[in-house]
Amino acid sequence: MCGRLPSLCGFVQDEGVIEPGAVRYTTVGDAMVAYQVTGDGPIDIVYMLGVASNFERWWDFPPFARVLERLTTYGRLILFDRRGSGISDPVPDGRLATWEQYTEDIDAVLDAAGSSQAAIIAAFDGGPVALVYAATRPERVRAVVLWNSYARFTWAPDYEIGTPPEATAAMNEALREIWGTEDLTKLLLPDLAADKEVVRWHTRLLRGAVTPASYARQVDEMTNLDARPFLPLIDAPVMFMNSIEHPLVPADAGRYAAELAKNGQFFGVEGGSLDVYAASNQAEIEDKIEEFITGVAPAKPTERTLASVLFTDIVGSTELAAKLGDARWKDMLEHHDLVTKRAVDAWDGRIVKTTGDGVLATFDGPGRAIRSALEMIEGLRRHGIEIRSGIHFAEIELRRDGDVGGIGVHVAARAMGLAGAGEVLCTRTVKDLSLGSDIRFEDRGAHTLKGVPDTWDLFAVVS
């Protein structure tokens, strides 16, 4: 299922893995700038886009959320929308903010977050702002990572790799015309243009960032800025990561800027990926970012194995808890945990974790997972508990903390979400691998699973 979009397979995030921090506002002049702090790692990390920013919507797309989650494994993640974009205030009277004002936004957000120093990850037109900030506020910047960015965009007599002014103007006008449409998303994400879920999410992100008119005003200004004089003044290490085939930003712009920086590095990324979540070698990119920011190479990749993944939860748990009251609900959960453990142990499975009103377990084969689920259903029904179950067989990640991850886990969870009370819903993979057994299935049709590419054929176990 993931062969067409390998870059997404490692990024699908299980719901509830990480809870984004609360959205806050801080005052900058006469405006309010929105920001958010997630995690409590030892290093503060600011992740900032340019004009096309709306950090609340980043969390809505599992592949992007997985990128952010990775950063929280070693840092305290600080997100914000600069003035004129996303959920921050617009610049008054339709004026354009200056570089100084954009750097003031970073200062204000760091102050509000209680951060004295941070690593900055910036993309696209957010890059020049990050460079200026690193040069003018060296004590507050630990490192700078720029993704598909540049120090200067437009051509100049001493900058022949830049885009000619007339081409820049034509590009900005063309982008304004298709801003907030799927056509622009497909242009910016050529490797993922066939994935409808990606296209829908990214198009909503663009519309939630700025209007076409505001985009045109801001991007015209930003593509004519020149941060090259600041590069030799930056004490912090700076790494430019550029997609070799990016449709708008030439990779040579990053390579050139890295050579000018006092402590610059360049890292070329294959393909035309717009952001980290869309890169085919996303694991390598994330490892390189982590080592660059922390100074320590990340541990070896987690082990992967084939397994049957079983997800269950109690049907109507919220209503049932309210009806029973705290004491009786606690007793019921104890019965639930006892029955599910016995059922998993009986079929040589492993309980990965309980989810409060459900369980995540893995088994060597699909038949064991199915029979364990059926045993749970019958055993819990005797205690007045109805559950629903979802099963998928796939390659999963075995994480160092004992948890599991990967798209296979995500698919099993989504299948469970579509199951009814007392039902075991399986993917076609599970059904096909059960051929020859006495287990019977009923076709439930093709379904789109939220956050997962393609459609999936689901089947109910007929007990």
Q: Is 93 exposed, middle or buried (0-12, 13-18, 19+ CB in 10 A)?
A: exposed
Residue type, 148: N
CA distance 133 to 107: 9
Helix-, strand-, coil-residue percentages of the chain, each rounded to 5: 40, 25, 35
82, 136, 130: which is closest to 238 by C-alpha? 130
pLDDT at 97 (0 to 100): 64
Any alpha helices (H) in 244-356, and if so which ranges? 251-260, 282-294, 317-324, 326-346
pLDDT at 302 (0 to 100): 59
pLDDT band at 96 (very low <50, low <70, confident <90, very high): low
What is the full DSSP assignment across 9-67? HTT---TTS--PPPEEEEEETTEEEEEEEE---SEEEEEE-SSS--HHHHTTSHHHHHH
Q: What angle do CA 256, 260, 264 make, to 5 degrees?
A: 90
47, HSE (Cβ side, Cα atoms, 13 Å): 26
Which of helix, strand or coil describes residue 231? helix
29: left (phi over 0), alpha (psi -120 to 50) or beta: left
At 369, list the tokens: 């997972």
Partners of 160 in the beta sheet? none
The per-residue pLDDT of the chain, averaged, comes to 87
Which of helix, strand or coil describes residue 404? strand
CA distance 442 to 122: 50
pLDDT at 95 (0 to 100): 61
pLDDT at 93 (0 to 100): 59
The CA-atom distances, in angstroms, between 40 and each of 54, 296, 412, 459 are: 22, 18, 30, 42
pLDDT digits (tens, 9 = 90+) for 291-303: 999 998 776 655 7
Percent of the chain residues topping a pLDDT of 90: 51
pLDDT band at 94 (very low <50, low <70, confident <90, very high): low
CA distance 8 to 405: 13
| Over residues 70-99, mean pLDDT | 84
Overall pTM surpassing 0.85 (yes/no): no
pLDDT digits (tens, 9 = 90+) for 153-169: 889 999 999 888 888 88
Any alpha helices (H) in 73-98, and if so which ranges? none
At 298, list the tokens: 């990340």
| Over residues 226-244, mean pLDDT | 93
pLDDT digits (tens, 9 = 90+) for 25-35: 999 988 899 99
At 40, list the tokens: 């409590």
Residues 349, 368 contacting (CB under 8 angstroms): yes
Which of helix, strand or coil describes residue 418? helix
Which of helix, strand or coil describes residue 328? helix
Question: For residues 338-364, b (16+ Cβ closer than 10 Å) or e, as one string?
Answer: ebbbebbeebebebbebbebbbbbbbe
Which residue's structure tokens are 């060597």? Answer: 364
Phi and psi of 75, rounded to 5°? -150, 170
pLDDT band at 347 (very low <50, low <70, confident <90, very high): very high
What is the full DSSP assignment across 134-157? HHH-GGGEEEEEEES--SB-B-BT
At 371, list the tokens: 């029979």
Kindly state the helix (H) or strand (E) to which residue 76 belongs, with its residue range.
strand 75-80
pLDDT band at 6 (very low <50, low <70, confident <90, very high): very low
pLDDT digits (tens, 9 = 90+) for 10-58: 333 344 447 899 999 999 988 899 999 999 999 999 999 888 889 999 9
Q: Which domains does the chain have, with CATH numbers?
A: 6-294 (3.40.50.1820), 303-462 (3.30.70.1230)
Which of helix, strand or coil describes residue 263? coil
